[in-house]
Structure 1
Amino acid sequence: MNWSMYTADRTTHLKIVVVGLAAALMIAVIGISARELNLGTDIMTAQNPTVIKAGGPVVLTDDSRGSTIR
């Protein structure tokens, strides 16, 4: 009678716990590896910083009377 969580025997519960822990461990390892593996993007941005200069002022109008929002 292992078709329900209430009537499952001890080994079925143990299997469920082991599969859950293995999945959690695998997700944690993948997450840590992805965070550490950045393919050198930090080095490239440190050597060639990107500078963005501000443009000139922009005037936006929303109605036909010509009132401006700055």
Structure 2
Amino acid sequence: MNHSIHSADRATHLKIVVVALVAAIGVAAFGISARNNADFTQTAQTNQVIKAGKPVAITSSGTSTVR
């Protein structure tokens, strides 16, 4: 048995590519299925409209300026 990837034949390279592709698809499918979509579907229905109140004029911030 030769443990070098450089001297492997075409079928071995194809097997490695197929296994890597299947693993990548599996990881992507798991990530998509594990995502929690509960807050995305409920936020549009449960959020309330916030209306602006009366305008406020701030004349002083109450902090001292250091120069």
Q: What is the TM-score when the length of structure 2 is the normalising length?
A: 0.52
Alignment: residue pair count: 58
5+ residue gaps, structure 1, are none
Greater than 6 Å deviation, 4+ residue runs: none
Structure 1 position 3, deviation (Å):
1.7
5+ residue gaps, structure 2, are none
Structure 1 position 30, deviation (Å):
2.4
Q: CA RMSD in A?
A: 3.3
Instruction: Pick closer, same or farther for the CA change 1:14–1:43 going to 2, 3 Å.
Output: closer
1:7 and 1:60 map into 2 onto residues whose CA distance is 77
**What is the percentage of aligned positions where both structures have the same residue?**
48
Q: What is the TM-score when the length of structure 1 is the normalising length?
A: 0.50
Q: Judging by fraction of residues, say which structure has more strand.
A: 1
One-letter code aligned to 1:38: N
1:21 and 1:14 map into 2 onto residues whose CA distance is 10
